[in-house]
């Protein structure tokens, strides 16, 4: 397994490559959480603001803070309609710039595997959420083959190229998430799997999103023409033909718990 620094420097490219996937999974996640209206939220690792916007659209929040280490991503997020309510600022998930018990809910959407020390990130979410409040997350099941770009990752490995993985990729497993939440002292911890499918008109439509996805476009950029074509064919073979196009089903693992009273 290769660990490398996957960087998200272009909010627009991230939105086009991962935004649809993020939104679909985020909708299932929020349905599962079934939060009350009028809550104060913090979206840790908000990135381009895709999930933050779902909170604003679907949860009628009182206030939302989105934090992320990437100014480029935050710039994109501030241009979203969600910015009419949500505030976006730069911060480290392991050192949130908020006082204790400020929020009713803290969430990480597709983020926990990027936190160098996941337990510290969870502890920070617990710290800034009031007693009785919600702490929750979901993350692609990368090691289990549930990533939206797993077809490309597998095809890369077949030609001897190890694709980059987030620094804490193991944290996305269901049992790992449960362990992190329980070790942080959260109660009523529950987990679930989220499955979402996206249809592409043809392989080129899928490949266009691949080329904007930093985690797979980086190793692709170093390939020669013959190797690149092998990867393309390998990825194409793993997509499922359905409904007049090509389909891939991604999977994420989700967890939620409550801060003790």
Whether residue 88 lies inside any domain: the answer is yes
Find the mean pLDDT for residues 144-159.
95
Domain housing 7: 2-147+165-197+250-258
The beta strands (E) that lie in 141-232 are given as: 164-165, 187-200
CA distance 34 to 19: 22
DSSP structure class, residue 42: E
Whether residue 120 lies inside any domain: the answer is yes
Whether residue 228 lies inside any domain: the answer is no
Q: Please report, for the domain that includes residue 136, its CATH number.
A: 3.40.50.150
pTM given for the model:
0.90
The proportion of the chain whose per-residue pLDDT surpasses 90, expressed as a percent, equals 81
Report how far apart, in Å, the C-alpha atoms of 243 and of each of 62, 67, 200, 202, 210 are: 41, 39, 10, 11, 21
Q: How confident is the model at residue 217 (pLDDT cuts 50, 70, 90)?
A: confident
The beta strands (E) that lie in the chain are given as: 2-3, 40-44, 63-68, 87-90, 103-109, 129-140, 164-165, 187-200, 240-242, 245-258
Of 138, 168, 173, 143, nearest in space to 44 by CA: 138
- Could you read off the pLDDT of 181-214 as tens digits, one per residue? 999 999 999 999 999 999 999 999 999 989 888 7
Whether residue 233 lies inside any domain: the answer is no
- The count of structural domains within the chain is 1
Whether residue 97 lies inside any domain: the answer is yes
What is the phi/psi pair of residue 145, to 5°?
Answer: 85, 20
- pLDDT tops 90 at residue 218: no
């Amino acid at each position: 397994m290769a660990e490398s620094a996957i960087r998200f420097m272009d909010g627009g490219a991230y939105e086009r490559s991962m935004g649809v996937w993020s939104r679909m999974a985020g909708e299932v996640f929020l349905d599962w959480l079934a939060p009350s209206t009028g809550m104060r939220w913090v979206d840790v690792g908000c990135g381009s603001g895709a999930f933050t916007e779902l909170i604003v659209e679907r949860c009628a929040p009182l206030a939302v803070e989105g934090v992320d280490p990437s100014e480029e991503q935050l710039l994109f997020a501030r241009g979203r309609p969600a910015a009419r309510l949500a505030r976006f600022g730069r911060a480290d998930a392991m050192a949130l710039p908020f006082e204790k018990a400020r929020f009713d809910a803290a969430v990480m959407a597709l983020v926990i595997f990027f936190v160098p020390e996941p337990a510290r990130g969870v502890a920070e979410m617990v710290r800034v959420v009031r007693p009785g409040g919600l702490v929750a997350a979901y993350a692609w099941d990368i090691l289990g083959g549930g990533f939206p770009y797993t077809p490309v990752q597998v095809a890369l490995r077949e030609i001897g190229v190890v694709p980059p993985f987030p620094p804490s990729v193991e944290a996305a497993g269901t049992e790992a998430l449960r362990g992190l939440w329980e070790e942080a002292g959260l109660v009523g911890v529950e987990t679930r799997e989220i499955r979402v499918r996206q249809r592409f008109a043809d392989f080129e439509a899928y490949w266009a999103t691949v080329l904007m996805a930093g985690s797979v476009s980086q190793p692709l950029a170093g390939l020669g023409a013959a190797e690149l074509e092998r990867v393309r064919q390998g990825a194409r073979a793993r997509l499922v033909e359905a409904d007049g196009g090509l389909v891939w089903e991604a999977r994420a693992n989700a967890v939620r718990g409550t801060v003790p009273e």
